Structure 1
Amino acid sequence: MERLTNKEEEIMQVLWQLEKAFVKEIVAKLPGKNHYNTVSTIVRNLEDKGFVSYTAYGKTHQYYPIISKEEYTKRFMNLASKKYFNNSYKSMVSFFAKEEKISATELREILELIENKQ
């Protein structure tokens, strides 16, 4: 699976939220000013990459995601782990702890989740 650009991810976030949408609905949900034709081109690129499909209504298309947010997140996190942390989730969690992005309480909650899964 290809990694998405920031704008593609932003559009996918909207599609995951709306579940299905016409380009004008996507444009309306995006932050800032976005040109209809630009968003339409990016959505078609997402279709080419296998992230979205559509239902045709005459000349217009209603797009919907064919990759779930959970599946993309899983693949993205696996890629990030390999690329930046030598495939070590321990290193990843240590990084967030050192950067003060995760608290001791949150780490204990994670540990509890792990222990209860067994």
Structure 2
Amino acid sequence: MKELTKAEEQVMQILWDLKKGFVKDIIQKMPDPKPAYNTVSTIIRILEQKGFVNHTAYGKTYEYHPIVQKDNYSKFYFNNFLSGYFNGSFEKLVSFFAKENDLDIKDMDELMKHVKDDLKQDTDE
């Protein structure tokens, strides 16, 4: 899997939310100032070449849908981020986060409680 550019990721985020859509649908969900139709169309074609998107043809019009799930890309992106900035160490990431946000032991305990609750919910499902 390849890492996406900011523009590609923006289009993918919209397409993940929409589940499927035409270029005009994607543009409609983009913030102002809206990019040109050809710009979004080009980004979609690049995403298709990278294996993130496929399409269904209706004559000359294409409806696009993601073929890479958001969760899969999130894991890939996070692992790249972790290895690129923290030498693959989750502990270094957490330490950095705690220092940058002036978290004390009480705050860290509260975070751990939330993590434990989330993990418990995942195993209960």
The TM-score normalised by the length of structure 1 is 0.90
Equivalent residue letter for 2:81: A
Match of 1:73 in 2: 74
1:30 matched to 2:30? The reply is yes
Q: For residues 58-90 of structure 1, what are the alpha-carbon distances to aligned partners after superposition, in whole Å with 9 as ceiling and x for unaligned? A: 001000000011000000001111111011011
- After superposition, residues 106-117 of structure 1 pair within 5 angstroms as 106-111=111-116, 113=118
Match of 1:21 in 2: 21
Q: Which has the larger radius of gyration?
A: 2
CA distance in 1: counterparts of 2:36 and 2:12, whole angstroms: 17
Q: Share of identical aligned residues, percent?
A: 48
The ranges of structure 1 where at least 4 consecutive aligned residues each deviate by more than 4 angstroms after the TM superposition are 111-117
The TM-score normalised by the length of structure 2 is 0.85
Report the more deviating stretch, 29-38 or 103-112.
103-112
Residue ranges of structure 2 left out of the alignment (5+ in a row): none
Compute the RMSD of aligned alpha carbons.
Answer: 2.0
| Aligned CA distance change for structure 1 residues 114 and 90 (closer, same or farther; 3 Å) | farther
CA distance in 2: counterparts of 1:8 and 1:106, whole angstroms: 32
Match of 2:42 in 1: 41
Q: For residues 30-76 of structure 1, what are the alpha-carbon distances to aligned partners after superposition, in whole Å with 9 as ceiling and x for unaligned? A: 11221100000000000000000000000010000000110000000
The number of equivalent residue pairs is: 117
